Chains A and B, each alone.
Chain A
Amino acid sequence: MRRTKFLIRKEIKQILRVRIMLMLIFVMPLIQIVLLSFAATFEVKNLNIIFVDKDKSTFSQQLISKFEASKYFIVKGHIFNTKLADRLMKNRKIDIYVEIPQKFEQTLIHTGKNEINLVTNAIDGTKGTFASIYTRMILADFLKDKSTQYAIKMNKLQQVKKVKNIDIQYSNWFNPYLNYKFFMLPGLIVLLVSMISMVLAALNIVREKEIGTIESLNVTPIRKYEFILAKLIPIWFIGMFELMLGLLISLLFYHVPLIGSPIALIVFAGIYLLVPLGLGLLISTMTETQQQAMLFTWFFNIVFLLLSGLFTAIENMPHWAQMITYFNPVRYFVEVIRMVMLKGSGFAEISFQLSVVAIMGFLVITLAVWRYRKTAG
């Protein structure tokens, strides 16, 4: 035990000695959490729109002013030439253009029917869909106004009264103001903490291998488990410390709610951290050089990140990919931290995730310890 204590002290010194590493472990992730959580929004607004108004009538003016009043669009102007609109779209000046045909007003009044063209830049599919949905809504609004006006004019009031309206009311539970930082911040913290603990665990051991100091350690009476414990415990504390710091920042500065049980969250985090630590250890037993270990951890981290549900919801994935995410530890923590903080879940609701993560941690660490041998080569 005394031996382990000394070893731990050595490890902590080794980590804290390199100033740039301190920056990288503590300062940079926090800056990223603070900044990047603002970036993660899919909310589509400020769509740049231009009108190719071939009619220049009262109707087309009124339609355009409806767009101007909408918070989703920024009207960039009216032009008369479709080719120019195409060019503007190609050069990214506009996201959408609406083409209002000649005699728009006349045709509409006489025949009651007309059509307009909407062209959107659909490279970003979400944006394209939203542009079309928003336009449709504004158009429907416009038509309703006009229909009512003309019905009144033509004494068809009878008909107007019969119009049926479905009144839609909205409520957003768990996050009434749709503050996406509440959603992203906890997830980002999880990601960074997992990434850093895994990298540190993997690299610290391989480094001893690469430099050759592991040979010296191997000939000392230090036991296998002592060596591993001494390596992992400081990193576990770093991970926990970082998590707490991240949580504190999100609670104090971003006012992310923590409705559920903090104890449940901390217990989960403590057990969860065993998984990235174990994975790091496992990687270090399978690689010879730091470079290899880095590439492995990089690979794992990117796959974990993409399949964690952090940026894109897991429910939207095809079934087989959803199955794969069950093997992704990060997925569980992202899920749990959101559940506990935003929905007020406690031990009861997260018991499934907790047990999966505990089993994962146990398996990974057992495997890694079994693979770790006190002999070189």
Chain B
Amino acid sequence: MKRMLAFIKKEFIHIWRDKRSLLILIGMPLVQITLFGYAITNEIKDANIAVMDKSKDVTSERLVNKIISSGYFKLDSYIDTKQELEQKFKEGKIKLGVIIDNKFDDNLETEGISKVQIIADASDPNTANTLINYLTAIVKDFNNELNRTNEPVFTIDMRTRMRYNLEMKSVYFFVPGLISVILMLISAMMTSISITREKENGNMELLLVSPVKSIQIIIAKVLPYTFLAMANAVTVLLVGYYVFQVPVYGNLLFLLSECFLYVLTALSLGILISTKTNSQQAAFMISLVGLMLPTIMLSGFIFPIENMPIVLQWISNIIPAKWFLIIIRDVMLKGSGFSSLWHETLILFGFTLFFIFLSVKNYKERLQ
């Protein structure tokens, strides 16, 4: 036990000594949450549009005004030809073009129908899709206003309640995701690197011939990063709560124990990586190239999993972050407890056992 303590102390000193690395490990989550809190959003506002108003009558002007005052769109310019429109698109000046047909008002009065054409820069299909939907809703609304004088027979008032995120802040969506990405990357990456480092420097040989058991070496290696990861989780939660008002409705203790379980999953994955390679570079590349993008993209952090093709939905099941993200979002924003999350918890637990099992199987007392 005493040996073990000394060993743990050594590992802490290792990390503490390297101030620059420590700064990054602690500062990284702060930078990320600041970026996600203030800068990164998939809410669209002030998308630039160009309007080609062929009629220039009162009604068409009212329509344009309605579009611009919606908060979603900003008028870049009025244009006269489709060539101009194409040029604007190519220069990346606008996202959407609106063409209002000739005799807009006249046609509405006499024929009862007029045309509006919406042209989107679909090279970014996600934005194009969203913008078209927004604009359609605005035009339809305008259409209804035009008919209001006609006293429609029926009206239904739709009352919408945005459950769990009243103000529709995207930071609510991102903070839990951020925690799951940060914990995974820091724990898995740092563990795998620090173990392979000993191998690469040849220290592992020395450690293995010492009376310290390999399990003790591993625990001592992993312990400081457990602390670090938990500290990161708490930091992000605190900043989220105090700076961005992201609530934690669920039980805090339960939330932290789930974080701890997830950190264990990530650490055991890190150990597994380190049994597979002897070089720090390879360990790092596995964590960076192999873990970063899949964790960000397949966990539901940014892109909703339900919309992915079915094969990717299957693959997403082997991403631990996906399960943790469900847990942490539900605990934080819905106030869920263990009774509704035992399934996901069990899966994380299973992952941890599986990784540990594989690591033990791969582990060699002797290095080549």
Chain A residues near B (Cβ < 8 Å): 18, 20-21, 24-25, 28-29, 32, 35-36, 38-46, 89-92, 108, 112-130, 132-133, 135-137, 139-140, 142-143, 146-147, 150-151, 156, 159, 161-176, 178-180, 182-183, 188, 191-192, 195-196, 199, 203, 207, 210, 287, 289-292, 294-299, 301-303, 305-307, 311-313, 315-318, 321, 324, 335, 338-339, 342-345, 349
Contact = CB atoms under 8 A, between A and B. Distances in A.
Interface in B141-175: 142-144, 146-147, 150-166, 168-170, 172-173
A169 B265 CA distance: 51
B353 interface: no
Interface string B40-61: 1111111110000000000000
A18 B280 CA distance: 12
B279 A42 contact: no
Interface string B97-132: 000000000001100111111111111111111101
A32 B289 CA distance: 9
B64 interface: no
B345 interface: no
Given A24-B289, A344-B90, A43 B126 contact: yes
A33 to B, nearest CB: 9
A172 B122 contact: yes
A298 B32 CA distance: 12
A315 B47 contact: yes
B312 interface: yes
Contact of B285 (A42, A125, A163, A199): A199
B154 A112 contact: yes
A125 B142 CA distance: 24
Interface in B45-99: 45-48, 86, 89-92, 95
B162 to A, nearest CB: 4
B281 A116 contact: no
24 contacts: A18-B281, A20-B277, A39-B297, A42-B42, A42-B129, A46-B307, A89-B163, A91-B340, A92-B326, A113-B157, A114-B154, A119-B161, A122-B164, A123-B334, A133-B134, A168-B118, A173-B86, A174-B89, A182-B123, A183-B126, A188-B293, A290-B280, A317-B41, A318-B38
Given A118-B160, A119-B161, A174-B123, A301 B288 contact: yes
Q: Ordered nearest first, which 5 A-B pairs have the shortest CB separation?
A: A321-B39, A172-B122, A122-B162, A175-B122, A115-B157
Nearest to A338: B123
B153 A147 contact: yes
B61 to A, nearest CB: 14
Contacts of A38: 308-309, 311-312
Interface in B189-244: 189, 193-194, 197, 201
B336 to A, nearest CB: 6
Contacts of A18: 279, 281-282
Given A120-B162, A175-B125, A316-B45, 7 more contacts: A25-B285, A42-B304, A116-B159, A124-B173, A137-B140, A180-B125, A316-B43
Contacts of B89: 173-174, 343
B43 to A, nearest CB: 6
Interface stretch (B3-11, B23-31, B255-263, B355-363): B23-31
Contacts, number: 368
B252 interface: no
Contacts of B127: 313
A237 B286 CA distance: 21
B147 A176 contact: no
A130 B28 contact: no
Contact of A312 (B40, B154, B340): B40
Contact of A174 (B122, B156, B336): B122
A40 B36 CA distance: 18
B269 to A, nearest CB: 16
A170 B155 contact: no
Contact of A175 (B20, B123, B140, B164): B123
B282 A115 contact: no
Nearest to A151: B153
B159 A118 contact: yes
B315 A35 contact: yes
B346 interface: no
A138 B279 CA distance: 58
B315 A180 contact: no
Nearest to B156: A114
A175 to B, nearest CB: 4
Contact of A178 (B39, B91, B125, B159): B125
A167 B100 CA distance: 10
Contact of B40 (A41, A136, A179, A306): A306
Contacts of A124: 173, 304
Contacts of A117: 159, 161
Given A123-B164, A306-B35, A166 B143 contact: yes
Interface string B260-304: 000000000000000011011110111011101110111000111
A349 B294 contact: no
B95 A183 contact: no
A228 to B, nearest CB: 19
Contacts of B347: none
Given A90-B336, A163-B150, A36 B298 contact: yes
B14 to A, nearest CB: 10
Contacts of B124: 183, 313, 338
A39 B278 CA distance: 32
B344 to A, nearest CB: 10
A253 to B, nearest CB: 15
Nearest to B176: A123
Given A114-B157, A125-B169, A294-B284, A315 B162 contact: no
Contacts of B296: 305
Given A90-B336, A178-B129, A169 B121 contact: no
Contact of B147 (A128, A163, A196, A342): A163
B43 A125 contact: yes
A133 B137 contact: yes
Nearest to A286: B20
Given A112-B153, A116-B159, A315-B47, A43 B129 contact: yes
A287 B349 CA distance: 37
Contacts of B172: 123, 125
Given A35-B315, A41-B307, A167-B114, A122 B285 contact: no
A169 B118 contact: yes
B245 interface: no
